[in-house]
Amino acid sequence: MQKPFLIVLIVAVVGALAISQFTPDIYSAIAFFTGAIIASVIYTLQSSQSAPVTNEQYKGPTMTLYVGNLPYRVHEGEVKELFGKYGPVNSVRLVRDRKTGRRKGFGFIEMSEAGATKAMAKLNEFDFQERTLKVREAKSQDADKSESAAS
């Protein structure tokens, strides 16, 4: 919210200077407000043409994928973009070492079930930033606990 205001303010000042150069008899305050109005109209038109950004999560059946052999320098946004090609992604969690804070090279992606199935087929053994990804369905922690209790 603060960035658009700053842009409008800068354009208003530039507009005020430009108007006062061509018509020196107009007060600078009037020129400033004219520039502000022109800038806000331009900003409104520009923002209405851009695609709306949605932060809504996928509400259908989901699956959590384990992704191994990730590059250590990769960010959540890059992984979300890669997996987002195959379906809606709800979350990306890259695991970090508790002591050092460095990424460990694996993570979990929660996404639509259909998208996850496609992503597993396409991205397992896929070269991503010079690393070969390993993509599997993540085992739930509840299943791990029940297996250890049974033995």
What's the pLDDT tens digit per position in 105-149? Answer: 999 999 999 999 999 999 999 999 999 999 999 987 665 555 555
Rg (CA), the chain: 25
Picking from 88, 82, 86, the residue whose alpha carbon sits closest to that of residue 54 is 88
Please tell me the number of Cα atoms within 13 Å of 24 on its side-chain side: 0
- DSSP reduced 3-state for 60: coil
Amino acid identity, residue 58?
A: Y
CA angle 66, 69, 72 (to 5 degrees): 110
Q: Of 151 and 51, which is predicted with more confidence?
A: 151
Average predicted confidence (pLDDT) for the chain: 79
Between 41-45, 61-65, 128-132, the lowest mean confidence (pLDDT) is in 41-45
pLDDT at 104 over 60: yes
Chain segment 31-41, per-residue pLDDT in tens: 667 767 776 77
**Residue-level pLDDT at 37:** 75
Domain 62-139 sits in which CATH superfamily?
A: RRM (RNA recognition motif) domain (3.30.70.330)
Domain ranges within the chain, ordered by starting residue: 2-49, 62-139
What's the whole-model pTM score?
0.58
**Residue-level pLDDT at 50:** 46
pLDDT at 64 over 80: yes
38 neighbors 59 (Cβ within 8 angstroms): no
| Spatial separation of the C-alpha atoms in residues 146 and 41, rounded to whole Å | 61
pLDDT at 52 over 50: no
Strand-pair category, 89-96 with 134-137: unpaired
140 neighbors 66 (Cβ within 8 angstroms): no
